[in-house]
Amino acid sequence: MTPTDLNFLRKMIQDKSGIVLGDDKLYLFESRLTPVCQRQGLNDLGQLVQRLREKANSPLHAEVVESMTTNETFWFRDGAPFDALKEKVLPFLAGANQSTRKLAIWCAASSTGQEPYTIAMIIRDHFPQLASWQLQFLATDLSPRVIAKARAGRYTQAEVDRGLAPDLLKRHFSQVASGEWQVNENLRKMWEFRELNLLESWFNLGTYDIVFIRNVLIYFNTEVKSQLLMRVGKVLAPHGFLYLGGAESPLNLDSQWVRVHFDRAGLYRKLRSDEAPPKDPKSGRWPAVTV
Ligand SMILES: C[S@@+](CC[C@H](N)C(=O)[O-])C[C@H]1O[C@@H](n2cnc3c(N)ncnc32)[C@H](O)[C@@H]1O
95 is a domain residue = yes
**Does residue 188 share a domain with residue 145?**
yes
Tell me, yes or no, whether 177 lies in a domain: yes
Protein residue whose Cα sits closest to atom 13 of ligand 1:
109
How high is the pLDDT of residue 276?
Answer: 74
**Number of neighbours of residue 176 by Cβ within 10 angstroms:** 11
Mark which of 14, 39, 67 sits at the end of a domain. 67
CATH code at position 32: 1.10.155.10
Domain presence at residue 240: yes
> pLDDT by residue (tens digit) across 6-16?
999 999 999 99
Give distance in angstroms: CA of 219 to centre of ligand 1. 9
Q: What value does the mean pLDDT of the chain take?
A: 94
If asked whether residues 40 and 102 sit together in one domain, one would say no
User: Which residues contact ligand 1 via a Cβ below 6 A?
Assistant: 17-19, 69-73, 77, 109-111, 115, 141-143, 146, 197-199, 214-216, 219, 245
Question: Which residues constitute the domain of residue 266?
Answer: 80-270
CA angle 137, 139, 141 (to 5 degrees): 165
Is residue 284's pLDDT more than 80? no
- Domain co-membership, 34 together with 129: no
Which residue's CA is minimally distant from atom 3 of ligand 1?
A: 215
Q: Are residues 105 and 231 in the same domain?
A: yes
Shared domain for 166 and 262, answered yes or no, is yes
Mutate to test the pocket of ligand 1, among 25, 69, 201, 231 (most ligand atoms within 8 A of CB): 69
Is 68:28 a contact under the CB 8 Å cutoff? yes
pLDDT grade for 275, boundaries at 50, 70 and 90: confident
- In this predicted structure, what is the pLDDT of residue 281? 59
> Ligand 1: which of 111, 114, 194 to mutate, most ligand atoms within 8 Å of CB?
111
- pLDDT at residue 265, rounded to an integer: 93
For 87-220, strand residue ranges (E) read 102-108, 134-141, 154-155, 173-175, 181-183, 191-195, 208-212
Do 96 and 150 belong to one domain? yes
User: Is residue 254 pLDDT above 50, yes or no?
Assistant: yes
Provide the number of structural domains found in the chain.
Answer: 2
| Ligand 1 centroid – CA 6 distance (Å) | 23
Ligand 1 centroid from CA 141, angstroms:
6
pLDDT of residue 280: 66
Q: Tell me, yes or no, whether 63 and 88 share the same domain.
A: no
Q: For the segment 90-138, what is each residue's pLDDT rounded down to a tens digit?
A: 999 999 999 999 999 999 999 999 999 999 999 999 999 999 999 999 9
